[in-house]
Structure 1
Amino acid sequence: MEKLYKLIVLFVGLTVMNLTVQAQVNSYSLFLATGIYHGNLTTAKDIVKNHNSDYHWGDFLVKPRTKQVTGFTNYPNPATTFTTVGYTLATKSNVVLKVIDLAGKQLALLIKQEQLAGKQEFYWELSKNNISPGMYILILQVESKTYSRKIIVQ
């Protein structure tokens, strides 16, 4: 019962503080926000701020949230014959990069593979996919997250 009470307090604290710290207890995924750390009442935000990696707190595993993808760009935009798509992965991830038109129809599948963490670039020759002038959307799927950017082809 004490664990359940702690978990309820932690979950409510997270909602109020809008923190994103993941905890795993047994096989359940929970979220936590407050607790006792080195004998002091503190927040998970303070724990994460003082530890750059995962931190075990009793039965909880505190993991700082990191963005899976940063710097999702394409240049030049507008493009005429090619564009370079760039992004940075926080961790090794399954990546899908595709192009859709404004009606949502997939026109090209550019990448579907596991990629290592770090900066990634893909040079895309538009003529290889018979892309005519217009506006399109680049869809980048990394694990369970989806990112999008518009591209204008002249």
Structure 2
Amino acid sequence: MQKFYKLTLIFVGLIVMSISVQAHWGDRSLLNSVKRNKIDLISSGKDWAGLNAKQATNFFNYPNPAVTETTIAYTLTARANVTLKVIDLTGKQLALLVKQEQAAGKQEFYWVLAKNNITSGMYILLLQVDNKTYSRKIIVQ
């Protein structure tokens, strides 16, 4: 299962890079759609156990690309157990930023990259809200 998860993350990373290249070389409508939603990897909101309620919206970070720090923001639709972590493209966890129950509403986390020895590259932010996982690409320069 863990190997499948890592392969999935690598595949998703490749898709994100492909979208970035396509947007850079001509398909601006796709890039504009991604920017409008403020999400690079858009969750369908489907819970495969049968539930359809979205638990988090507007998951993004700014600035992106980041140099020394970034602010990670998301909105919870209800009180939930939240985990926010950073992984590399191989699936290795590099930092656990948040692990707590949070109230509904807008949440922000200010992250100084040097505290976790993050160097230049592409990473994935994983936001777990109860039983749902959302992802966001972050580029560090």
Same fold (TM over 0.5): yes
Could you tell me whether the CA contact under 8 Å between 1:66 and 1:90 is conserved in 2? Answer: no
Query: In structure 2, which of residues 116, 122, 133 is the aligned counterpart of residue 146 of structure 1?
Result: 133
Structure 1 residue 67 displacement after superposition: 1.4
Gaps of 5+ in 2: 1-45
Could you tell me whether the CA contact under 8 Å between 1:69 and 1:87 is conserved in 2? Answer: yes
Aligned to 2:100: 113
Identity %: 70
Aligned pairs (5 A) from 1:19-58: none
Gaps of 5+ in 1: 1-19, 21-28, 32-63
Aligned to 2:57: 70
**Cα shift readout 1:87-124 (whole Å, capped 9, x = no counterpart):** 00000000000000000000000000000000000000
Write the distance in 2 (CA, Å) between the matches of 1:65 and 1:101. Answer: 29
Q: Is the radius of gyration larger for structure 1 or structure 2?
A: 1
**Cα shift readout 1:58-109 (whole Å, capped 9, x = no counterpart):** xxxxxx9531000000000000000100000000000000000000000000
Query: In structure 2, which of residues 70, 84, 87 is the aligned counterpart of residue 97 of structure 1?
Result: 84
Could you tell me whether the CA contact under 8 Å between 1:133 and 1:152 is conserved in 2? Answer: yes
Could you tell me whether the CA contact under 8 Å between 1:99 and 1:137 is conserved in 2? Answer: yes
Larger RCO (CA within 8 A; separation ≥ 6): 2
Aligned to 1:45: none
TM-score normalised by length of structure 2: 0.63
Write the distance in 2 (CA, Å) between the matches of 1:80 and 1:153. Answer: 6
Write the distance in 2 (CA, Å) between the matches of 1:110 and 1:82. Answer: 13
Task: Give the AA of the match of 1:89.
Answer: L
Tell me which protein shows more helix as a share of its residues. 2
Number of residue pairs matched by the alignment: 94
| SS of alignment partner, residue 83 of structure 1 | strand
Write the distance in 1 (CA, Å) between the matches of 2:129 and 2:82. Answer: 5
